[in-house]
Amino acid sequence: MTPLASVFDGNDSKIKLVPWLVSKGANLQDRFEPFLDFWHDGLKISHLVAAGVGKNLHKTFARGWRFQCTSLQRFRDYGLDTMKLLLGPGSSVCYDHCNCLCSGAGCSPLTMILKSIVKSYPYPYQNCTGTRLTIMDWILKVGDLEPSTKHKVSLEALRFILFDEMDLTHTCCQPAGNIIKPTIDEEEASEVRDEEVDMIFQFEALYKRAVLE
């Protein structure tokens, strides 16, 4: 496992190391070499780091307003530069090979961050769309992104969040605990799409309308 891949568990002190490792020549766009069964085709180091960052943002934003200020300040200190690297210009070519309509070209670091924001213990009653939207607003505000990256990131988030809100079934990889579960096979995925064809049609129409507005 490379030092960058070890950031996957979302440990604060490891996330803080990412910009330093990158300044020493580590590349977030490197393919993630398989170890154990965490691997699926096309996964890059960037996806793993993003899942770790997402887990941290989840904790930070789900703690409620009383804790948010301190937690956010902490995230600014240890995670913000890493997040900027993940969503910076290099991310425009960073997609895995998942074939799921929640994204246009495969999972990106941003969708990996959003996938880590799920209903889970100890916040079972949390509305994850609400949390995802709050996090997106925050990312767009503090992320220092180029206008074109900002636009790309907003569209990706819109597509992903709308897909989940419409209760469509993901056929892409999913972060789960300390692993990223591989995608289901193509045959199963096409069965899922056949079953949901009407909803998918509505989803695509809504997405197109939202993009044009």
For binding to Zn ion (CB under 5 A), which residues are involved? 96, 98, 100, 102, 107, 170, 172-173
Closest approach, Cβ 111 to Zn ion, in A, equals 7
Element at 128 (helix H, strand E): helix 128-142
Between 14 and 47, CB nearer to Zn ion: 47
Q: In degrees rounded to 5, what are phi and psi of residue 179?
A: -130, 165
Counted residue by residue, the chain has a size of 213
Element at 75 (helix H, strand E): helix 65-78
Closest approach, Cβ 47 to Zn ion, in A, equals 7
Between 15 and 98, CB nearer to Zn ion: 98
Closest approach, Cβ 188 to Zn ion, in A, equals 13
Between 21 and 157, CB nearer to Zn ion: 157
Give yes or no for a cis peptide into 122 (omega within 30° of 0): yes
**Tokens, residue 180:** 């990223």
Between 144 and 188, CB nearer to Zn ion: 188
Beta bridge partners of 180: 175
Closest approach, Cβ 113 to Zn ion, in A, equals 13
- Alpha-carbon distance values, 210 to 48, 155, 158, 162 (Å): 30, 9, 9, 10
Q: How far apart are CA 90 and CA 131, in angstroms?
A: 26
Closest approach, Cβ 172 to Zn ion, in A, equals 3
Non-local (6+) Cβ contacts of 87 within 8 A are: 109, 110, 139, 143, 145, 149, 153
Other CB atoms within 10 A of residue 106 CB: 20
Between 56 and 164, CB nearer to Zn ion: 164
